[in-house]
Structure 1
Amino acid sequence: MNEKHEAPLEGVHCEASRCLGLQGHYKMSGQQGRKIAIVGASGNVGGGTLKALLAKGIHTITAVTRTESTATFPEGVIVKKGSYEDESFLVSAFQGQDVVQLALGFSSYATGQEPLIRAAAKAGVEWILPTEYGSAPDPSKLLDSSPILQGKIQIRKLIEELGSNWIAIVNNPWYDWSMGAGFWGIDIKNRTAKLYDGGKTKFITTNIGTTGKGTAGVLSLPDAELEKYRNKPFYLKSFYISQRDMLDSIQRATGTTDKDWKIEEPDAATVVAQAEEAAKKGDHVAGLISFYVNHMRAGWGGDYNDKATDLTKIGLEAEDLDETTKRVVKEIEGQ
């Protein structure tokens, strides 16, 4: 086990630590400082959360990484390195933490979380944020069709059975990341679009940066507010839009119209059936396609707009769809 205390952030980490030492949990302006350990602090979600937490200046943050990791972290972050297969290391790393945030990669979701969760519970951690940061496993056709979402339910149950508590960050597929990867059915470079069932069904999507900011906002809530989300999800959103809304925004960003695009309106059920058959034969991309398309189907569970009502409570403001789209288009066309 290797424990490294890097130099504190000037006027930030030390102040928060001093208040933690004297008062338990440092509080300011309706926010509350905590001791937070992040596993995956150099990734998209973990890194975004880390940055947002540091900006608040009230938390004591520990990044837990594998021994061989070469990731570096800002000053003020405590770094603990060891093996994720070594329970004694994990328990030691999590000892005294108020929160453990798991922000693992997609490939580690199914099997990588359990040892970390068991160690966090053994260390007496009150709050565990499992690796979710996607779609909600709420009762829906989407849940019925997705083993990944069903697995989230099992992880939540495990945390409760071990005597700890979970908060799940729900954001649906990321708007900006998914657009860059082409998963919305719109190919910006080649000017083609597949608008499933006409592309008029609205659903929730969130920018990847908003997930980090939102997670940090949740973890900074005072105890009385955080308690409201004990063993419950917190629903984030950047946009409540349809595929057609996406395409319109892309066209504004590119100065194009429908005449410049090849637009198809395939039947969503047919596309999903074909993708699922391909996935059974080992085509992992096809599996993702069916997952995304199901979010864009009416009544399937991609619309939780009525649940994403607490955003101002955690300091999130309305986002501009066209500004995000312009940024992504610039990145894509600049490749």
Structure 2
Amino acid sequence: MSAQAIQKVAIVGATGRIGGAFAKALVEGGKHTVTALTREDGGGKLPGGVHVAKVNYDDEASITNALKASEPPQDLHKRIADAAGKAGVSLIMPNAYGYPIAAGGPQEGDAYGKVAIDRVNETKNGISSSIKLSCGFWYEWSLATGEQWFGFTIKNRKVTFFDEGKRTITVSTWDQCGRALAALLSLPESGSSPSLADYKNGNCSIYSFRVSQRDILDSLHRVLGTTDSDWEITYESVEKRIKEGAEESSKGQITGFVKTMYGKVFLDSTEMSDFAAKGSENISLGLPQEDLDEATKRTVEMVENGWNPFG
């Protein structure tokens, strides 16, 4: 390992929300050459200053050649990780965001935790190291997408509180994740702490807010000028929500998986749901303290502008 910082970074999915936040923060930092690996027929918008490498994701040689060109860091994820090893990429951040995995591994029935572990394991190509970025749920996505996620339907002024709606969990904004990656990759690869060696083949936990559904609704009130009387508030036990989600999943309904995944995080017995209560890497990485209402306002604007997360 070098005492210098990594200079060249490749991003898969740089036209998406999290990939775009990564690319934007890295370019703004001015310390890295950023290359976006995009599909040959892709037409998404990229931040200025990002280089483009067109890739056929069904052709491993195409992926490998693209990664070699920039010398950076389910089946597609593994193919990309394997190609990264063949290209000599030193570091991979797997698509395994979310919550830290407990030392004993994912809890029974934690499908997302299993996927996260599998994706981390897929990076073990014999060449590359990995860093898992644990950031909790993405705040804007979870609040804007609909009732099955955080329980809110902003457009219709409806919310389903899980139990009493007062369970505190750790969440992050896309921008905070971008800043975290830029800060991580600006560290020297080795030497005195902090360095990338502190995190390699391990976990880096960062966050934006520790909030409950009640906190989020109060923030929405401040942004929208509403009160509880302007919203339709219902209550549902977390256990019931998880059970219903499992039943929906068995019928092939994707929202069932979502309800189960989010429900498990809102369980009082879930140790990792509010991991920031025990500490994070925010200070070590120089991450700012964000304003909850600003993040809520951005989310409201997304909804009002017709944002479609699946479009």
**Which residue is equivalent to 1:218?**
184
Distance (whole Å) between structure 1 residues aligned to residue 59 and residue 197 of structure 2:
31
1:79 alignment partner, one of 46, 52, 69: 52
- Cα contact 1:235–1:307 (8 A) shared by 2: no
Matched residues, number: 299
Is the Cα contact below 8 Å between 1:171 and 1:204 reproduced in 2? yes
Residue correspondence of structure 1 range 153-164 to structure 2 within 5 A? 153-160=117-124, 162-164=126-128
Q: Does residue 312 of the first structure (1) align with residue 283 of the second (2)?
A: yes
Contact 2:112–2:261 under 8 Å retained in 1: no
Per the normalisation by structure 2, the TM-score is 0.87
Amino acid at match of 1:236: I
- Show the counterpart of 2:266: 296
Moved more, 83-92 or 179-188: 83-92
Structure 1 residues without counterparts, runs of 5 or longer = 1-23, 101-109
Structure 2 CA distance for aligned equivalents of residues 136 and 304 of structure 1: 8
Of 168-177 and 72-81, deviating more is 72-81
Q: What amino acid sits opposite 1:36 in the alignment?
A: V
Q: CA deviation at 1:89?
A: 2.5
Change (3 A) 1:72 1:303: closer
What amino acid is the match of 2:143? M
Asked if 1:199 corresponds to 2:199, the answer is no
Q: Distance in 1 between matches of 2:242 and 2:10?
A: 39
- In 1: Cα distance, 2:103 partner to 2:25 partner: 32
| TM-score (ref. length: structure 1) | 0.81
Gap change, CA 1:327 and 1:92, over 3 Å in 2? closer
Q: CA deviation at 1:221?
A: 1.5
Of residues 236, 256, 260, the one that matches 2:226 is 256
What does the per-residue CA deviation read over 1:149-179, in whole Å, with 9 as the maximum and x for residues that have no partner? 2122122223235342100111121111211
Matched, 1:132 2:96: yes
Residues 110-140 of structure 1 show CA distances to partners (whole Å, capped at 9, x for unaligned) of 2211111111112221101111232333358
CA distances 1:1-43 after superposition (whole Å, capped 9, x unpaired): xxxxxxxxxxxxxxxxxxxxxxx9896xxxx351111121211
User: For 1:240 and 1:122, how far apart are their aligned partners in 2?
Assistant: 40
1:257 deviates by 2.3
- Asked if 1:39 corresponds to 2:9, the answer is no
Distance in 2 of aligned mates of 1:114 and 1:332: 34
CA-based RMSD of the aligned residues comes to 2.5
Of 127-136 and 225-234, more deviation after overlay is shown by 127-136
Counterpart in the other structure of 1:178: 142
Once residues 208 and 89 of structure 1 are traced to their aligned partners in structure 2, the CA distance between those partners, rounded to angstroms, is 29
Rg comparison, structure with higher value = 1
Aligned to 2:309: none
Give the match for residue 13 of structure 1: none
Q: CA deviation at 1:308?
A: 4.6
- For residue 69 of structure 1, the aligned residue among 42, 60, 74 is 42
Q: In 2, distance between residues paired with 1:40 and 1:211?
A: 15
Range that drifts further, 325-334 or 312-321: 325-334
Say if 1:118 and 1:162, in contact at 8 Å, map to a contact too. Answer: no
Q: Which runs of 5+ in 2 are unaligned?
A: 307-311
Report how far residue 202 of structure 1 moved: 0.6
- Does the 8 Å contact 1:134/1:171 carry over to 2? yes
The equivalences for 1:234-253 within 5 A come to 234-253=204-223
Summarize the Cα distance change of 1:162–1:26 in structure 2 as closer, same or farther, 3 Å threshold.
Answer: closer
2:255 aligned residue: 285
The answer (yes or no) to whether the contact 2:26–2:182 under 8 Å persists in 1 is yes
* Inter-CA distance 246–112: structure 2 relative to 1 (3 Å threshold): same
Partner of 1:268: 238
Aligned twin of 1:148: 112
Q: Deviations over 1:40-97 (max 9, x none)?
A: 1211111111111111112122222222223454554332223223222222222275
The structure richer in helix per residue is: 1
